[in-house]
Amino acid sequence: MALRRIAGWMGAFGVAAGAFGAHALKEQVSPERLTVWETGARYHLIHAVVLLFLALLPEQKSPFPKATFWLFFAGILIFSGSLYGLVLLDLPKLGMVTPVGGLCLILGWGSLARSAGS
Protein backbone atom coordinates (compact mmCIF):
# COMPACT_ATOMS: atom_id res chain seq x y z
CA MET A 1 0.00 0.00 0.00
CA ALA A 2 2.83 2.41 0.79
CA LEU A 3 4.35 1.98 -2.67
CA ARG A 4 1.01 2.82 -4.28
CA ARG A 5 0.76 5.94 -2.15
CA ILE A 6 4.27 7.00 -3.16
CA ALA A 7 3.47 6.36 -6.84
CA GLY A 8 0.25 8.36 -6.54
CA TRP A 9 1.97 11.32 -4.94
CA MET A 10 4.78 11.23 -7.49
CA GLY A 11 2.19 11.34 -10.26
CA ALA A 12 0.35 14.21 -8.59
CA PHE A 13 3.56 16.19 -8.13
CA GLY A 14 4.51 15.49 -11.75
CA VAL A 15 1.22 16.93 -13.00
CA ALA A 16 1.63 19.92 -10.68
CA ALA A 17 5.17 20.49 -11.95
CA GLY A 18 3.99 20.38 -15.55
CA ALA A 19 1.16 22.81 -14.86
CA PHE A 20 3.45 25.12 -12.90
CA GLY A 21 5.88 25.20 -15.81
CA ALA A 22 3.16 25.80 -18.39
CA HIS A 23 1.43 28.57 -16.48
CA ALA A 24 3.53 30.17 -13.74
CA LEU A 25 6.98 29.87 -15.27
CA LYS A 26 6.12 30.65 -18.87
CA GLU A 27 6.56 34.41 -18.41
CA GLN A 28 9.22 34.17 -15.70
CA VAL A 29 12.08 32.21 -17.26
CA SER A 30 13.79 32.03 -20.62
CA PRO A 31 12.53 29.60 -23.26
CA GLU A 32 15.69 27.53 -22.73
CA ARG A 33 15.00 27.21 -19.01
CA LEU A 34 11.36 26.38 -19.68
CA THR A 35 12.54 23.54 -21.93
CA VAL A 36 14.71 22.25 -19.07
CA TRP A 37 11.67 22.37 -16.75
CA GLU A 38 9.52 20.54 -19.31
CA THR A 39 12.15 17.81 -19.63
CA GLY A 40 12.11 17.32 -15.86
CA ALA A 41 8.30 17.18 -15.77
CA ARG A 42 8.12 14.75 -18.71
CA TYR A 43 10.59 12.32 -17.16
CA HIS A 44 8.88 12.76 -13.80
CA LEU A 45 5.46 11.78 -15.16
CA ILE A 46 6.68 8.91 -17.32
CA HIS A 47 8.49 7.33 -14.41
CA ALA A 48 5.63 7.99 -11.99
CA VAL A 49 3.55 5.72 -14.23
CA VAL A 50 6.29 3.08 -14.01
CA LEU A 51 6.21 3.39 -10.21
CA LEU A 52 2.45 2.84 -10.26
CA PHE A 53 2.82 -0.21 -12.48
CA LEU A 54 5.38 -1.71 -10.10
CA ALA A 55 3.31 -0.81 -7.03
CA LEU A 56 0.19 -2.47 -8.44
CA LEU A 57 1.83 -5.83 -8.96
CA PRO A 58 0.93 -8.36 -6.28
CA GLU A 59 4.02 -8.54 -4.07
CA GLN A 60 4.08 -12.32 -3.74
CA LYS A 61 3.83 -12.81 -7.53
CA SER A 62 5.99 -9.89 -8.62
CA PRO A 63 9.19 -10.83 -10.43
CA PHE A 64 10.56 -7.33 -9.79
CA PRO A 65 12.72 -6.61 -6.76
CA LYS A 66 11.83 -3.63 -4.61
CA ALA A 67 15.17 -2.14 -5.66
CA THR A 68 13.65 -1.55 -9.11
CA PHE A 69 10.96 0.66 -7.59
CA TRP A 70 13.46 2.57 -5.46
CA LEU A 71 15.85 3.12 -8.38
CA PHE A 72 13.04 4.74 -10.36
CA PHE A 73 11.97 6.77 -7.31
CA ALA A 74 15.53 8.02 -6.71
CA GLY A 75 15.90 8.75 -10.40
CA ILE A 76 12.80 10.94 -10.40
CA LEU A 77 13.92 12.82 -7.31
CA ILE A 78 17.47 13.38 -8.49
CA PHE A 79 16.96 13.81 -12.26
CA SER A 80 13.78 15.87 -12.27
CA GLY A 81 14.50 17.50 -8.91
CA SER A 82 17.88 18.79 -10.07
CA LEU A 83 16.30 20.20 -13.24
CA TYR A 84 13.55 21.90 -11.23
CA GLY A 85 16.17 23.34 -8.88
CA LEU A 86 18.32 24.49 -11.76
CA VAL A 87 15.41 26.49 -13.18
CA LEU A 88 13.93 27.81 -9.93
CA LEU A 89 17.16 28.60 -8.10
CA ASP A 90 19.27 29.57 -11.12
CA LEU A 91 22.03 27.22 -9.96
CA PRO A 92 23.71 25.76 -13.04
CA LYS A 93 25.87 23.55 -10.78
CA LEU A 94 22.76 21.45 -10.10
CA GLY A 95 23.14 20.26 -13.67
CA MET A 96 26.12 18.20 -12.49
CA VAL A 97 23.76 16.12 -10.31
CA THR A 98 21.27 15.41 -13.11
CA PRO A 99 23.28 12.54 -14.68
CA VAL A 100 23.21 10.70 -11.33
CA GLY A 101 19.41 10.75 -11.52
CA GLY A 102 19.57 9.64 -15.14
CA LEU A 103 21.83 6.75 -14.13
CA CYS A 104 19.29 5.71 -11.46
CA LEU A 105 16.56 5.69 -14.12
CA ILE A 106 18.74 3.64 -16.49
CA LEU A 107 19.54 1.19 -13.70
CA GLY A 108 15.83 0.98 -12.87
CA TRP A 109 15.05 0.03 -16.46
CA GLY A 110 17.92 -2.44 -16.44
CA SER A 111 16.67 -3.98 -13.21
CA LEU A 112 13.20 -4.23 -14.72
CA ALA A 113 14.56 -5.95 -17.85
CA ARG A 114 16.79 -8.30 -15.88
CA SER A 115 14.13 -9.43 -13.43
CA ALA A 116 11.48 -9.78 -16.15
CA GLY A 117 13.70 -12.26 -17.96
CA SER A 118 13.98 -14.63 -15.01
Task: Give the list of residues 6+ apart from residue 73 with CB closer than 8 angstroms, or none.
Answer: 6, 10, 51
Q: Amino acid letter at 20?
A: F
Rounded Cα gap, residues 110 and 85, in angstroms: 27
Taking only the tens of pLDDT, the chain with its 118 residues reads: 799 999 999 999 999 999 999 999 988 999 999 999 999 999 999 999 999 999 998 877 778 889 999 999 999 999 999 999 999 999 989 999 999 999 999 999 999 998 876 5
Q: What is the pTM of this model?
A: 0.93
Domain positions in the chain are 2-116
Neighbours of 118 (CB within 10 A): 6
pLDDT tens digits, one per residue of 65-98: 899 999 999 999 999 999 999 999 999 899 999 9
